[in-house]
Structure formats: C-alpha cells, structure tokens
Amino acid sequence: MINFLHSSWVCMLSLLLFSGYVLSYADGIPPEGIIKTPYSSTSFLPGDSLCPAGDVLLTTQAAVDSLASRYPQCQILDGSLRIFGADIQDLSPLSGLRHIGGSLVIEANPNLYHLNGLDSLRSVAGDLIIQGNAVLNDFWGLNQLETVGGNFTFLGNDGLSRLGEFDNLRSVGAQVDISYNAALRTIETFGNLQQVNSLSIQSNYALVNIGGIDGAFDKISSLVGSITLVNNPALMDIRMLAKLKSVGDDLVLFNLDRLIDLKNLSQLQTVGGDLYIGQMMS
C-alpha cells in the first residue's frame, strides 16, 4: 500500500542526524575548539586546523560569526553542518565554505530571509535539508551548488512563493522532496539536473507551475526510484515529465485537481512499480 502521508519532519530527522555531536556551548563553538564526537574528544587551539573536526551545530548568530573568526580559511568541512537558531539572520561569515562532507541542515530559523553567504558551496556529500524557515524568500546563496550526495529536502518554508536558483545542480544521489510549502507558486529551477533517484512534490496547495526558462527537471528521462505528485490542487500541467521514458518504481499522480490531460506522459514507456492516477472522491 502506498502511504501518501509524509512522516513527521519537524526537527526529528535532524536531531537524529546529529545525535552524539551536540555542541552545548553558549556561542555554539566549544572553548579552545573542543569538538565532541561519539568516539572521542579532540582538543585543538584555533589555527591548528583550517576547519573544525566533526559535526558543527550553529544555534546563534554569535556562533556563526565565531566559526568564521576562528576558522577564516575553512573551505572543506568534513562533518555535517546544522544551522538552527531564532536570532540567526546572516550567513555571510560562511562564505568560504566549498564542500560539506556530511549533511547541511538549515531549519527553524524564523529570522533568516536569505542564504547569502553560502555562495561558494559546490557540493554536499550527505543530505541537504531546508525546512521550517518561515520568512526565507530566496536561495541565491546556493546558486553554485552542483551535487548533493543524499536527499534534497525542502519542507515547510511558508514564506517562499518561488523556488529557483538551483540551475547549477546536476546530481542528487537520493530523493528530491518539495512538500508542505504553503505559499509556493512556481518551481523554476532544476533545469540542469541530470541524475536523481526519486522525486516527490506533495501538498503545495498554491503551486501552479513547474517550469522555468530551461524547464524544471526536463533533463530527466529515467529514474531508478519513484515519482510522487500528490495534493497539489492548483498545478495546471505536468510538462516537467514530458521527456520521461522510464520509472523504476511507482508513478503516483493524485489529487491534482486542475490537471486536464496526461499528454505530457506520451514518452513514458515503462513503470517498474505501480502506476496510480486518481482523485479523492468527495
């Protein structure tokens, strides 16, 4: 049975990702650079390494600023980076970061309007999770991102009406999930994305258009995993699937109230799992 209900996402996922790596210091940066990992504690003075070892949790603007001042030449972070704090407004101190060896989680930052400062970031080896940022209104800070090794997850960012700025993204190792974004009207990016395992776009009730100049997702002709378009009642067409030839798992189109026809599936040849196209009966 296909489950259309998204699992609880508020903070639980990221807390699990960072279990054992919590930095519980006032400014988010441990004194004298003590980084605690599940296996050991390594002590070093600022300047002993270009970047801190292990995972980094930034919970205040002071922590963001402190990381940059202690590690001004940090470009390659070997662990994960989680940015989570009520007063975080400016990520420009992180402008030197080029690669994150773990996951990048940006969540529950109620005063973060943009991601400027992550402009140098080219790759994230783990997941990219952006969720619950109420006033976030653009993603220009991630416009140079080329690869995500795990999931690309974009959930519950209710202040954003347009999703763009990912035109350099070419590969996502697992799933692209764009769901529960109350004000999202258009997705105008992913035109150069060539590799992704699965695609899920769910419960974006204002979403009208998935397109853009280059055509969102239009370089995707086959997926190993599934495609799920569910509960997007304002979506008018699915031309983003016009070049799709094969889906390795399920293809689910459900509760797309304004979808008139399926002409954009004319190239589809094989579905390895279930093909489900339907509407909830009132």
Per-residue DSSP letter, 195: B
Domains belonging to the chain, first-starting first, are 75-278 (3.80.10)
Distance CA(259)–CA(256), nearest Å, equals 6
pLDDT one digit per residue (tens) for the chain, 282 residues: 334 334 333 343 344 334 323 333 444 444 333 333 332 222 233 444 699 999 999 999 999 999 999 999 999 999 999 999 999 999 999 999 999 999 999 999 999 999 999 999 999 999 999 999 999 998 999 999 999 999 999 999 999 999 988 999 999 999 999 999 999 999 999 999 999 999 999 999 999 999 865 679 989 999 999 999 999 999 998 999 999 999 999 999 999 999 989 999 999 999 999 999 998 654
- What phi and psi, each to the nearest 5 degrees, are found at residue 265? -100, 15
Q: Which residues contact 182 (CB under 8 A, 6 or more apart)?
A: 158, 204, 205, 206
Residues counted in the chain: 282
Distance (Å, whole) CA 66 – CA 54: 17
Report the half-sphere exposure of 169 (CA within 13 A, side-chain side).
30
Q: 111-129: b or e for each residue (b if 16 or more CB lie within 10 Å)?
A: ebebbbbbbebebbbbbbb
